[in-house]
Structure 1
Amino acid sequence: MGFIGGEELLVTLAPVAVYWLYSGIYEALGSSEALDRYRLHSRRDEETKNMASKKDVVKGVLLQQAIQAAISVAVLKLTGGDEQISGGVKAHDSSSSSFLEVAARFGVAMAVLDAWQYFMHRLMHSSRFLYRRFHSWHHRVVAPYAFAAQYNHPVDGVLTETLSGAAAFLASGMGPRAAAVFFVFATVKGIDDHCGVLVPWNPIHVVFRDNNTAYHDVHHQLGGGRRNFSQPFFVVWDRLLGTYAGYAVERRGGGGLRVKIVK
């Protein structure tokens, strides 16, 4: 058997493929006027406020995804990967697993991912060194757009996103196929949080109405860097620890929407 098995490839590559496909759809729609009435930032804002070029963003995301893929393969190898057919992680992918069991594992993974990312994200803002050296890369994009969701310094990307995913995988006991579905779902949610478009018919925005692109837009604003750290699913840690900032969505002059922090 080769170094990388089929299910390891699925876990590693499916989120990457979906990332570029889903963000590409947003980019295609955004190039027309179809979503202009729902945009949180004008095209001019994207051109003038963002300090990272789209070329640099693409290169940064690809670098993070390459590192993430390598770590994913390593974690899967350490936990058995395709070789483990019973008694371990892969056993939880079997058709005998009940819906409730799968849902419970997804719930654990979501909770672990959320907790890890909240506290690491907050640490990145609390430490002047960590922010300036690493996390400030992500905030070079002041007016977020879809394929900038995973634009991070490689160290920030590993500590905040890659290791949180590994922890969620290990804590939940999901097998490779279930993990592939979970990470694709988390990837889609992360893109929606950064897409800069708030459409009322987006089912993800309906389900996660408290944590959506408007909620995260507050964090990217110049006055919101110490608020709304929660990502990607819930806002429980922000509410419990006093870092939650409310917001109002208003019509923007010239068309579109804008997010206003409500204190």
Structure 2
Amino acid sequence: MGFAISDELLVIFVPIVVYWSYSGMYALLEYFENYRLHSKKCEDEKNSVSKGTVIKGVLLQQTIHASVGIIWFTVMGNEGGSVAGPEPSLIVLAIQFLTAMLVFDTWQYFMHRLMHRSKFLYKHIHSQHHRLIVPYSFGGLYNHPLEGLLDAIGGTVSFLLSGMSPRASIFFFSFATMKTVDDHCGLWLPGNPFHLFFQNNTAYHDIHHQLYGSKYNFSQPFFVMWDRILGTYMPYTIEERAGGGFEARPAYKDRKDD
């Protein structure tokens, strides 16, 4: 008799493996200056937290996410969506994925915007993430533990409202994890599919991490609709940087250099 791992456990732990595998690949590419949106020197000068501290912070957040998932599936049992049934059609799966993306984006936008608009919440919670003015791949989930808990709740709400099964959510949360890593990788890679299909990409989020963009580009991780609807959208251009690499800059003519 073979050993089977439940879908509920896989949806908790597969995204963690995906996070470190995918961010590890990007970490190797960071050594190539011609792909970077900021130079390595700029990263070292501007970021106020060590990579060792970031790794510990991410592991803490992943522990929180895993704990929420384990508690949820333990309490809900079969009612949590683990009852075996017919496999949904591709159309149904696509609708579930799109629904989850929209719900998660909505949760993330309004929580993210609140974290910036409230001086108290920014100072005591969200500013931890913005210690990385120059983002890099494995810093995508470097957040205050409370913010990590709120993110986990948002993921749970997305899962519930979409109606997807635990098995389908393995793919959804793995995809969302890859997107989060890519948004923070600080690399502008030719042919990157995330850049081809999503306006909300590495450069878009890099603008938000700069001082001039901290009140803009709150949307994460998929679409930019809430920024556009609510007037917090800051367009950007990609320019070649002196010395190699690229730079994301505000598209406004009256922009001020930071």
1:90 Cα deviation from its structure 2 partner = 3.2
Superposed CA RMSD:
1.6
1:173 Cα deviation from its structure 2 partner = 1.3
AA aligned opposite 1:70:
S
Separation (CA, whole Å) in 1 of partners of 2:71 and 2:163: 16
1:204 Cα deviation from its structure 2 partner = 1.6
SS across alignment from 1:90: coil
Which residue among 243, 251, 255 is the counterpart of 2:240?
Answer: 251
SS across alignment from 1:234: coil
Which residue in 2 is equivalent to 1:129?
120
Runs of 5+ consecutive residues of structure 1 not aligned to the other structure: none
1:95 Cα deviation from its structure 2 partner = 4.8
- CA deviations on 1:50-97 (whole Å, 9 max, x unpaired) are 0110000000000000011000112223333xx45xxx7235x74531
1:82-161 equivalences in 2 (<5 Å): 83=78, 89-91=81-83, 94-159=85-150, 161=151
AA aligned opposite 1:77:
T
Matched, 1:51 2:40: no
SS across alignment from 2:214: coil
Which residue in 2 is equivalent to 1:13?
13
**TM (normalized to structure 2)?**
0.93
Separation (CA, whole Å) in 2 of partners of 1:195 and 1:94: 39
Which residue in 1 is equivalent to 2:183?
193
- Checking the alignment, whether the CA contact within 8 Å between 1:38 and 1:257 is kept in structure 2 is yes
SS across alignment from 1:223: helix
1:198 Cα deviation from its structure 2 partner = 1.1
- Checking the alignment, whether the CA contact within 8 Å between 1:211 and 1:235 is kept in structure 2 is yes
Which residue in 1 is equivalent to 2:256?
none
- Checking the alignment, whether the CA contact within 8 Å between 2:8 and 2:82 is kept in structure 1 is no
Which residue among 76, 81, 85 is the counterpart of 1:79?
Answer: 76
Which residue among 10, 35, 38 is the counterpart of 1:38?
Answer: 35
- CA deviations on 1:189-245 (whole Å, 9 max, x unpaired) are 00000000011211121111x110000001000111000000000000000000000
Separation (CA, whole Å) in 2 of partners of 1:90 and 1:99: 19
Separation (CA, whole Å) in 2 of partners of 1:242 and 1:150: 26
Separation (CA, whole Å) in 1 of partners of 2:86 and 2:43: 47
- What is the percent sequence identity of the aligned residues? 52
Separation (CA, whole Å) in 1 of partners of 2:24 and 2:104: 25
AA aligned opposite 1:206:
L
Which residue in 2 is equivalent to 1:262?
251
Separation (CA, whole Å) in 1 of partners of 2:221 and 2:76: 25
Separation (CA, whole Å) in 1 of partners of 2:102 and 2:182: 19
AA aligned opposite 2:171:
V
- Checking the alignment, whether the CA contact within 8 Å between 2:37 and 2:187 is kept in structure 1 is yes
Separation (CA, whole Å) in 1 of partners of 2:86 and 2:13: 23
1:149 Cα deviation from its structure 2 partner = 0.2
Matched, 1:175 2:172: no
Which residue in 2 is equivalent to 1:26?
26
Separation (CA, whole Å) in 1 of partners of 2:141 and 2:195: 19
Separation (CA, whole Å) in 1 of partners of 2:71 and 2:91: 29
Separation (CA, whole Å) in 2 of partners of 1:122 and 1:225: 10
- Checking the alignment, whether the CA contact within 8 Å between 1:200 and 1:206 is kept in structure 2 is no
